Structure 1
Amino acid sequence: MEIPSNGRFVQPDVVSGHFHLREGDRVADFGAGGGFFLSAFSQSVGGSGRVYALDIQRGLVERLGEIAREKGLTNIEPIWCDLEADGGTKLADGVLDAGVLINTLFQIEDKTTALREIARTIRSGGKFIVIDWTQSFAGIGPQSSQVVTESAARDMVEAAGFSFERSFPTGEYHYGLAFRKA
């Protein structure tokens, strides 16, 4: 499934541009889902970089591996994980230069533990981006009761040990927040 490129939805190349990834970076897509961002991140970090595509759904993790093979993305490593468990990502402390949480925060029940686990894996000074739904839209996105507001997301991420840097445009339905690990 491709994301429409009409500016209404989050675009992988736009997100990657705001992320300022560099050759050799190690980045994790926490809740990688269908792998929409794999190609953009893979290209940004190059052959010496690594993209960890993490998800809790085993079938999606298998599919992420297939997508990487089909597209010849040799720097992608799909990993089954449980963000809501300490050590659940199976990544070492401070191994990442950057991490993203896209359209996933609203789905997490234990947001405090998940954000703490993400913070554990990102090195001091590393980057973290959160993109999520601004509201509930008929037929797409989360239910109203699941929406995490931009200010609530910022507060939660800051409480996990990140410093807010800026917000950025991500399309009609989402907000984007950039942080740096303290």
Structure 2
Amino acid sequence: MNVSFDTQQPLIPALSSGRFLDPDSLLSHVGVLDGAVVADFGCGAGYFTVSAASLVGVDGVVYAVDVLDSALESVEGRARSFGLKNISYVRANLEIPGSTQISESSVDLVIVKNMLFQNDRRKSIVREAVRVLKRGGRLLVVEWRPRSQSVVGPEDQKRLSIDSVRTLFDEKLFVSVELIPAGDYHYAFVGIKK
């Protein structure tokens, strides 16, 4: 697998709205298509869930996955306000293998956004993503940039280095891994499952 990136190079904010993440731009860049199946792991308030649901259209489906009922309720309210009916809500602890109960090899894109820094069992989360991904499916991991001098996001010592997140993409499981721009406060990787 060929992977090249310069971890010292600042990431350009091409896929951000102002200085923050722009879910529509980032998901379009990753290639979310009409009719796709997407899983948003750790969906939180659902900004990426709602964006993905709009992009996949009525023939697609998005799984909003979170351990918190309050997060899923928030996403459901947001989806209702946009008239979206193609979202399935899944309460799951992503650190437990198989907890999503999403069928194996059934998902085109798994989104893991701003959550790995909060979890000790990061490899378990990535394994669950790989389990549900189709062959050729994509894993999008978005995390807070370290040393960003930002008042937004977690404390710097809780943020994950680009290299530590890159190591989660096992070469035996992914054909390619690309570091992509994700705004001033984040970085993102996209991996394609073998």
CA distance in 2, matches of 1:41, 1:114: 20
Mean alpha-carbon deviation: is it higher for 132-141 or for 158-167? Answer: 158-167
CA distance in 1, matches of 2:144, 2:32: 23
CA distance in 2, matches of 1:165, 1:109: 22
Kindly report the root-mean-square deviation, in angstroms, between the aligned alpha carbons of the 2 structures: 1.7
> 1:157 aligns to what?
169
- Paired residue for 2:44, among 15, 33, 43? 33
The residue correspondences of 1:26-175 to structure 2 (distance < 5 A) are: 26-135=37-146, 137-158=149-170, 161-175=173-187
Tell me which amino acid in the other structure corresponds to 2:128. Answer: E
Mean alpha-carbon deviation: is it higher for 161-170 or for 127-136? Answer: 161-170
* TM-score, reference length from structure 1: 0.90
8 Å CA contact retained: 1:51, 1:77: yes
Cα 1:68/1:160, change in 2 over 3 Å: farther
SS state at 1:79 partner = strand
Q: Which runs of 4+ in 1 moved over 3 A?
A: 136-139
Query: How far does the alpha carbon of each residue in 1:34-88 deviate from its partner, in whole angstroms, 9 at most, with x for none?
Result: 0112332112111100011111111111221222122111111121111100111
Indicate the structure whose relative CO is greater, using CA pairs within 8 Å and at least 6 residues apart.
2
Mean alpha-carbon deviation: is it higher for 155-164 or for 26-35? Answer: 155-164
Tell me which amino acid in the other structure corresponds to 2:164. Answer: A
Gaps of 5+ in 1: none
State the percentage of identical aligned residues.
31
Count how many residue pairs are aligned between Structure 1 and Structure 2.
178
CA distance in 2, matches of 1:160, 1:27: 23
CA distance in 1, matches of 2:161, 2:86: 33
* TM-score, reference length from structure 2: 0.85
CA distance in 1, matches of 2:168, 2:42: 17
- CA apart distance, 1:154: 1.1
Mean alpha-carbon deviation: is it higher for 49-58 or for 143-152? Answer: 143-152
